[in-house]
Amino acid sequence: MIYGANGYTGRLVAEEAVRLGMRPTLAGRRQDTIEQIGRELDCPTRVFDLRGRHEIEQALTDCVAVLNCAGPFSTTAAVMMEACLAGGTHYLDVTGEIDVIEAAAARDERARSAGVVLMPAVGFDVVPTDCLAATLSKKLPTATYLQMAWLSTGRASPGTMKTTIESMPKGGRARIDGHLVRVPVAWKSREIPFRGGNRWGMTIPWGDVSSAYHSTGIPNIEVYMGMPPEAIERARKGRRWLWLTALPPVQWWLKRRIAQTVRGPSAEERSRAGISLWGRVSDESGNRVDATMEIPDGYTMTMHAAVAATQRVADTPPPAGFQTPSRAFGEQFVLELPGVDLQIGDGPTSG
């Protein structure tokens, strides 16, 4: 099942699954749009919301795995995970939210007992970066410090922007000595040696602060987003006003504006966009290993990665419990996806 198939990302995932010969059940809470997409893609449909766990359990009764594409996942993930644990359905989603990944990790023991795989974050964030982190960790097993960064030439969908609005009042996050720590917005900045040249970036509360720790055990993790220096300075100056974005009327107004004015990128825009990734691990002795990766735009990557991960979990599931993509499928998983190029040191590996 693909839940949230009527959203921007959910629709892309559904179309990709059908293109590969699958016939998933398309689900969501809006009957008109779900049934229309079902007719267009010749897939069965199911309409239900996420307000009652019993109704969700009934809707998942005959599903081996569900891919949750309905964000914000801070609202949808927990209740769907609970229904999956009760009914024995494997759970995946395309979140990039730290707290959702940690919530899945906290259910690890229960998932093992239930024989259920819980695998959040099987999209752009975090499949490529998770595999990058695992690759670097294998190259330097003594690593105690991981830095990663990304730079995108594409634009965001309404769902991604709404999730960003929800997270704004929470500030930044980093992994310090094994602990998730709240830090200021733009806590650190640095020049980042992307493959195409150095660019400035600032720390952001990205999902890898959670997932990369579970995949590698590296206790200190920072994630950066490439941004112009002037934008980083504006972010720092705006810290004093972040409390305003936590007010319910402000959240409502911002999300309403997004719904009214923002549309996801077109297929042509996605084809022109791309993402550059950089990663570095280092240890207490000063040893370090760098790597860069070039991938398609985030939505295209999510489309390919989410379908591949869900198909694997449905067909040959990894061990039950909380899983990250690299732990479940190996660090080479990302290289099996189209348009990915990884370079470690002076030796390129492509997929």
Nearest in space to 215 (alpha carbons), one of 149, 302, 298, 128: 128
For the chain, the structural domain boundaries read 2-123+301-329, 127-298+333-350
- Rounded CA separation 323/94 (Å): 14
- What is the reported pLDDT for 261? 76
Segment (H or E) for 93: strand 90-93
Report domain 2-123+301-329's class.
Answer: alpha beta
CA of 149: how far to CAs of 3, 100, 125, 216, in Å? 30, 21, 12, 17
Nearest in space to 155 (alpha carbons), one of 306, 272, 12, 13: 272
Other beta carbons less than 10 A from residue 212's beta carbon = 28
Model confidence pLDDT, tens digit, residues 5-15: 999 999 999 99
Q: Which two tokens stand for residue 298?
A: 């985030």
Query: Which residues in the chain come in under a pLDDT of 50?
Result: 347-351
- What is the reported pLDDT for 157? 61
**Domain 127-298+333-350 falls in which CATH fold?**
Dihydrodipicolinate Reductase; domain 2 (3.30.360)
- What is the reported pLDDT for 156? 65
- What is the reported pLDDT for 250? 80
Residue with tokens 């267009």: 40
- What is the reported pLDDT for 251? 79
Model confidence pLDDT, tens digit, residues 163-202: 667 766 778 999 999 999 999 999 999 999 999 999 999 9
Domains 2-123+301-329 and 127-298+333-350 belong to one CATH topology: no
